[in-house]
Amino acid sequence: MAKLVFGMNQSLDGYVDHTAFAPGPKLFRHFIEEVKGQTGSIYGRRMYEIMRYWDDEHPEWDDAERAFAAAWRKQPKWVVSRTLKSVGPNATLVEDDLAGAIRQLKAERDGEIEVAGPELAHSLTGLGLIDEYRIYLHPVVLGQGKPYFAGSRPPLRLMTSDRMGEEVIRLTYVPA
């Protein structure tokens, strides 16, 4: 059975924003290895549209960015959306019965499946389907934006804390 993991970079004050701060080289290499080892990813529409950036080649990319793009393209993706009519390569559209589709996906697969996007994670948390939360805590304060937890924080139990590079701490929680 697959394990659903919601993990994102977060500011000290609880916000996620890929344009406000980014992982350093060491953390980015960690994410490359993580993507290589995952069974797949589940995206909400907005996060999927952001991540589609990695479908195209960009001549200015360095070796790490090319490695991430290659791993991301190989990975199966499931996109939860009521508005999209199609999705890109190696992606499957999930239009309705979110609970049934994700339960089936967990039952049919082994390994780790990433959940990408706070609103999707909130929905899956409400259904009791997320097995682990990973907060990559960055030393920045944004003061506004999209929070990591789209609703009230579920009851969680801290499992581990790891230093990731020079400035980031990864906090790993499971439902309590």
* CB-CB contact of 151 with 113 (8 Å): no
Q: Which tens digit of pLDDT belongs to each residue from 135-151?
A: 999 999 999 999 999 98
CA-CA distances (angstroms) from residue 145 to 11, 21, 138, 150, 170?
10, 12, 15, 11, 20
Q: Give the three-class secondary structure for 127.
A: coil
First-to-last CA distance in the chain? 20
Task: Tell me the domain boundaries of the chain.
Answer: 2-12+19-131
* For range 21-45, the mean pLDDT: 95
For residue 166, pLDDT beyond 90: no
For residue 19, pLDDT beyond 90: no
Range 2-12+19-131 has CATH code 3.40.430.10: yes
pLDDT bracket for residue 41 (50, 70, 90): very high
How far is it, in rounded angstroms, from Cα 162 to Cα 68?
Answer: 22
